[in-house]
Amino acid sequence: MNELIEYIKNHIPFSDEIKIKLEEIVTEKNVEKGEIILHENSQKKEHIFVASGCLRSFYTDADGKEHTLQFAIKNWWISDYMTIYTDKKSIASIESLSHSKILIIENEQLQKLFKDFPQFEILQRKNFERRITTLQKRVLSLLTLSASEKYFKFINEYESFEKVIPNYQIASYLGITPESLSRVRKERSQN
């Protein structure tokens, strides 16, 4: 909870009122490595804030292959946007990649929070803007870059991820096979 408060204070004016409200609507949870937090097919509209550790959202295709949508570390939000903003069943799952501390807010509660404390709208808007530009950049990478370019861009941009996240999951984020990623990494170590 303190991590979330810290995060909020860094963005908008904070008050005791807000604190009380937050304590009412936020669920704190410690999760183990490998634990699934949000299951595919659920209809839960939950926003997850990562207080510590690392999470991943992914989609499992018809062949059982997993495709990573997002990684999230401390101070990041992660959720299944398609489920929250449409009325369709979730096609994605969220799992923890390490022992993590997470804070969960129900979407309805969050919407109420926006009404009661309009300054949160600003936070939300900023998050949206960041998310849109991030997704846009990712589309562009997928459209224009080769396997090795995508990988080097990724480890460059998300250095801190490299140690926590298994390579086969990075591959599934970049849209390449683990074998290809391994070959790309070999090249690097030879040059």
Partner DNA sequence: CTAATTTCTTACCTTAAGTCAATTTTTATC
Partner DNA sequence: GATAAAAATTGACTTAAGGTAAGAAATTAG
Question: Which residues, including other chains, have CB under 8 Å from residue 78's CB and lie 6 or more apart?
Answer: 48, 50, 55, 57, 70, 72, 94
Residue among 126, 121, 107, 119 at smallest CA distance from 15: 119
Residue 160 binds to DNA (criterion: CB under 7 A): no
Residue 121 binds to a copy of itself (criterion: CB under 8 A): yes
Residue 20 binds to a copy of itself (criterion: CB under 8 A): no
**Cβ distance to DNA smaller for residue 2 or 144:** 144
Q: How many helices (H) and strands (E) does the chain have?
A: 8, 8
Minimum gap (Å) between residue 173 Cβ and a copy of itself: 8
Minimum gap (Å) between residue 2 Cβ and a copy of itself: 28
Cβ–Cβ contacts within 10 Å for residue 15, how many? Answer: 11
Cβ–Cβ contacts within 10 Å for residue 150, how many? Answer: 22
**Which of a copy of itself, DNA, none is residue 20 near (CB under 5 to 8 Å by kind)?**
none
**Which of a copy of itself, DNA, none is residue 138 near (CB under 5 to 8 Å by kind)?**
a copy of itself
Minimum gap (Å) between residue 28 Cβ and a copy of itself: 26
